[in-house]
Amino acid sequence: MQEIPKPSNKQPCHPLDDLIRTDRIPHIWCPGCGIGTVFSSCLAALKGSGINLRKTVMVSGIGCSGRAAGYVNLDSFHTTHGRAIPFATGLKLANPELNIVVFSGDGDLFAIGGNHFIHAARRNMDMTVICVNNLNYGMTGGQVAATTPYLAKSTTTPVGNPETPFNLPLMAYACGATYVARWTMLHIRDLTDSITEAIGKKGFSFIEALSPCPVNYGRRNKQKPLEMLKVYQEKAIIKNDADPSTLDIDFEKGIILGKFVDVDRPTFIEHYDKIYRPSRLQESVPGLNS
Amino acid sequence: MDFWRVPLDADTIQVSLGIVHILEDRCKGCGYCIEYCPKQALELSTKFNQKGYHPPVVVKPEECVNCHYCEIICPEFAIFSVESPPITEPGRAGTHPNSAIKVR
Amino acid sequence: MKPAVLTGEYFMTGDVACAEGALAAGCRFFGGYPITPATEIAERMALRLSHVDGCFIQMEDEIGAMAAVLGASWGGVKSMTATSGPGFSLMMENIGLGICTETPCVVVNVQRGGPSTGLPTHGAQSDMMQARWGSHGHYEIIALAPSSPQEIFYLTITAFNLSEKYRLPVLIMTDEIVGHMSEKVIIPEAKLIEIVSRPRPKGRKDRFKPFAPGPNGVAPMPAAGEGYNLHITGLTHDEKGYPVMAVETQTEMMARITEKIQRNLDDIIRTDDFLLDDAEIVVVSYGVSARTSMAAVAEARKLGIKAGLFRLVTIWPFPEDQIRKLADRVKGFVTVEINLGQIHREVERCAGGKVPIFLVGHPGGTIIHPDSVVNLLKEAF
């Protein structure tokens, strides 16, 4: 009978350790928080996609999800609340060779940052936006957000949310994003595949990743983190190419996941180069009239 | 592994096998790896790590098939599996190095 | 491609001269938003950046514009934006991010009557204190005030050079009058224009600390994509760039941000003067008001009043030492500005109550007529 090789006494190296700032681990996210899983999935996608990591930049805003930029061992920018996308726009326009990943939360990207999101999607700025949707403003203690379900409790809607939430994939689709997908932090392999596809694709890609928020949203709405994962498992309906207008999240009827939009359109830089800097246009781009 | 009927190619099929490594001080005791290991190879330990959480412990190391699910679901980069070399001896294919094949 | 430096003699507005100065300084990115009276800067840049292989984008709002400017700077390109009062207010948070992350860039404020929507098509100089303290938190800033289209051309180049040398956003506080007036502007040959770029890092990339100050107090600055694995955050951070929520880190970071300016005042502060050597009364002014004050000083001299003009070219940092020294030998000061007393307070503070100080101000909408300055000089002295 063979001996099972024992792990060496030296601290073993997690396969993603070269992509994280190990001197800052353990990170600040709560036990059971899904941001760590989505972040891990994103790093696995970055590694597996084969893109030039030296030219890859992560930009984030303010909030729990925004802290991801502080943990990734790449060029990373932790900007002001809601302004990750325009900052990323400036980075990309200054150096079009950069691969930009915007990793931020639902409040940062769609409330204060909503205007920037819709315009970057409209322009088809070449970047991948990963939105960790935990249905509230987690970092500040659990306030209502643009994605908080109707009647849910939060610290600023203590008796129940009077507003209805956004349908994020519909918004992304309506604004012109060329890749739109939604997964949960339980569907890690699908999420990693989506992120890999999105990174490798030029244009504005948007991926929504649902996550529990055990300490804030979960506590106030009687959702233990493991229970939420069971809900994701049981209520998930994977329906690629679903009509984005049917994608409102309904925890009773079902949460539709999948890849909903995957089209090709010339990016802002391609249009700009065609009109203003024709010498930069290397090859003909489908969709750009010659 | 218990078989009711031994598959005809039991000699040649190699089930991947894995060894689980846990970076205990990163763990925050969320329990996702324990819950979602398809082989129920992990359990909550009784020891405390530096931050006061109970990290997982591998209770059935021979069951690990290197599916990496604990690794990818862990939010803390605290657990991962590596492939352990499969047994290629005829008659013992599909077994973990630490167990014997059982056939009913 | 056309040249960035359009050497020659022109009759151009201040706004256009500003854009040309930016291009001459090496600016290759403009992220902007239309606002009267600064729109012409954006319009000129929209056309001219394509001549020099640069990039122009009109963002969805001023907040996005300022964020894009910071991003472009970290992408390795000299970048700027231009706005007026309402947009300046919107940009304040990201100007603060630029100060905290020590990002070189230039922000032009073509001031107009305020507050709020105010007088969009009339000039004022009422954002001067906002230029100093507009963003939250304590910091040092550099702000320049040109008085003519020709001077805007040169000061825009100076602004870029200072922003690159000291790694912070530099403000150009002009006004609608200078922005929209047309005057002769001579653009020299490119080789006569001195351009400064941000200090570049040397040594091992894996040991590089993005905020470890160099000899003059400024850290070298790589760009994204060069393999330095930078982490840049608006949170209080240490020399590695990592956020640390501790009093010691705050103290050190604040020292870095403020001392690089405070220790280099000789290099940064620029002033000009007219008939100041034997003056008994000093007229302190800047921007377009300095031109009317010059006429007033000349007129006052004819009337036997020994007036002199002390013109601020850098408004911030404020030339405190020079005002203090003048306060020891003159009989009084007169501040002339198109507001109800902003730089006036700085002059009062620095003169320390030694001599009387008067203000010839105006809430905004027109220049200060030289006669009002002369009349005050006659009455008061």
Question: Distance (Å, rounded) from C-alpha C175 to C-alpha C143?
Answer: 13
Question: Which of C167, C192, C217 corresponds to the end of one domain?
Answer: C192
Q: Which chains touch B (3+ CB pairs under 8 A)? A: A
Q: Does C295 touch chain A (CB under 8 A)?
A: no
The ipTM value here is: 0.95
Question: Distance (Å, rounded) from C-alpha A223 to C-alpha C259?
Answer: 50
Q: Which chains touch C (3+ CB pairs under 8 A)? A: A
User: What's the whole-number mean pLDDT along residues A220-234?
Assistant: 94
Q: Which of C29, C53, C234 sits opposite A80 (nearest CB)?
A: C234
Residue C146 amino acid letter: P
User: What's the whole-number mean pLDDT along residues A91-104?
Assistant: 97
User: Is domain B2-103 given the CATH code 3.40.50.300 in the classification?
Assistant: no
- Res. A148 pLDDT band, cuts 50 70 90: very high
C208: in domain: no
Which of C:73-112 have CB within 8 Å of A?
A: 73-77, 79, 93-94, 97
Cβ separation A36–B84 shorter than 8 A: no
Q: Does C206 touch chain A (CB under 8 A)?
A: no
pLDDT of A4 higher than 70: no
Beta partners for residue A210, in sequence order = A133, A184
C242: in domain: no
The string of DSSP codes covering A218-272 is IHHTT--HHHHHHHHHHHEEE-TT--GGG---BTTTBEEEEEEEE-----HHHHH
Contact A67, A94 (CB under 8 A): no
Q: Which residue of A has its CA nearest to B28?
A: A31
- Res. C182 pLDDT band, cuts 50 70 90: very high
| Same-domain status, C43 and C140 | yes
Cβ pairs A/C, distance under 8 A:
141
For B56-83, the pLDDT digits (tens) are: 999 999 999 999 999 999 999 999 999 9
Question: Distance (Å, rounded) from C-alpha C171 to C-alpha C251?
Answer: 25
| Same-domain status, C181 and C298 | no
Helix, strand, coil percent values for chain B (each to nearest 5): 15, 20, 65
pTM recorded for the entire structure: 0.93
User: What's the whole-number mean pLDDT along residues B2-30?
Assistant: 86
pLDDT of residue B95: 53
Report percent pLDDT > 70 for chain C. 100
Q: Does C288 touch chain A (CB under 8 A)?
A: no
Q: Domain tally for chain C?
A: 2
Residue C55 maps to which CATH number?
3.40.50.970
User: What's the whole-number mean pLDDT along residues A26-40?
Assistant: 96
For C5-44, the pLDDT digits (tens) are: 999 999 999 999 999 999 999 999 999 999 999 999 999 9
C352: in domain: yes
pLDDT of residue B5: 84
What are the chain A neighbours of B88 within 8 Å (beta carbons)?
none
pLDDT of residue B89: 58
Question: Distance (Å, rounded) from C-alpha A59 to C-alpha A78?
Answer: 6
CATH numeric code, A32-280: 3.40.50.970
Nearest Cα to Cα of residue B77 among A77, A40, C26, A278 = A40
User: What's the whole-number mean pLDDT along residues B47-63?
Assistant: 94
Q: Which residue has the tokens 């391609």?
A: A270
Q: Which of A7, A17, A229 sits opposite B32 (nearest CB)?
A: A229
- Res. B2 pLDDT band, cuts 50 70 90: low
- Res. C207 pLDDT band, cuts 50 70 90: confident
Q: Which residue of C has its CA nearest to A52?
A: C225
Cβ separation C72–A78 shorter than 8 A: no
Q: Which residue of B has its CA nearest to A33?
A: B75
pLDDT of residue C141: 98
| Same-domain status, C278 and C188 | no
Mean pLDDT value across chain B: 83
What are the chain A neighbours of B56 within 8 Å (beta carbons)?
none
Kindly report the nearest CA distance between residue B39 and chain A, in angstroms.
Answer: 17
Cβ separation A54–C225 shorter than 8 A: yes
Q: Which of C97, C225, C229 sits opposite A79 (nearest CB)?
A: C97
Cβ separation A37–B29 shorter than 8 A: no
What are the chain A neighbours of C234 within 8 Å (beta carbons)?
78-80
- Res. B104 pLDDT band, cuts 50 70 90: very low
Question: From residue C369, how far is each of C145, C274, C289, C291, C374 by CA, in Å?
Answer: 19, 18, 9, 10, 9
Residue C355 maps to which CATH number?
3.40.50.920
Helix orientation angle between A114-123 and A84-94, rounded to the nearest 10 degrees = 30
What is the DSSP pairing of strand A99-105 with strand A56-60?
parallel
Cβ pairs A/B, distance under 8 A:
86
Domain assignments of chain A as residue spans, ordered by start: 32-280
For C213-236, the pLDDT digits (tens) are: 999 899 999 999 999 999 999 999
pLDDT of C293 higher than 80: yes
Question: Distance (Å, rounded) from C-alpha A60 to C-alpha A76?
Answer: 8
Q: Which of C31, C225, C228 sits opposite A90 (nearest CB)?
A: C31
pLDDT of residue B14: 76
Q: What's the token pair of residue B36?
A: 């979602």
C3: in domain: no
Nearest Cα to Cα of residue C122 among C82, C65, C181 = C181
Kindly report the nearest CA distance between residue C114 and chain A, in angstroms.
Answer: 26
Contacting B with CB below 8 Å, chain A residues are 1-5, 7, 11-12, 14-17, 20, 25-27, 29-37, 39-41, 44, 185-186, 188-189, 192, 225-226, 229
pLDDT of residue C1: 79
Contacting C with CB below 8 Å, chain A residues are 21, 24, 54-55, 57, 59, 69-70, 73-80, 83, 85-95, 97-98, 115-116, 119, 268, 272, 276-277, 279-280
User: What's the whole-number mean pLDDT along residues C149-171?
Assistant: 98
Calculate ∠ Cα A228-A230-A236, nearest 5°.
95
pLDDT of B91 higher than 70: no
Which of B:45-104 have CB within 8 Å of A?
A: 51, 53, 61-62, 69, 71-78, 80, 84, 87, 97-98, 100
For C75-120, the pLDDT digits (tens) are: 999 999 999 999 999 999 999 999 999 999 999 999 999 899 999 9
pLDDT of A122 higher than 60: yes
The residue range of the domain holding C34 is 8-192
- A205 φ, ψ to 5°? -110, 140
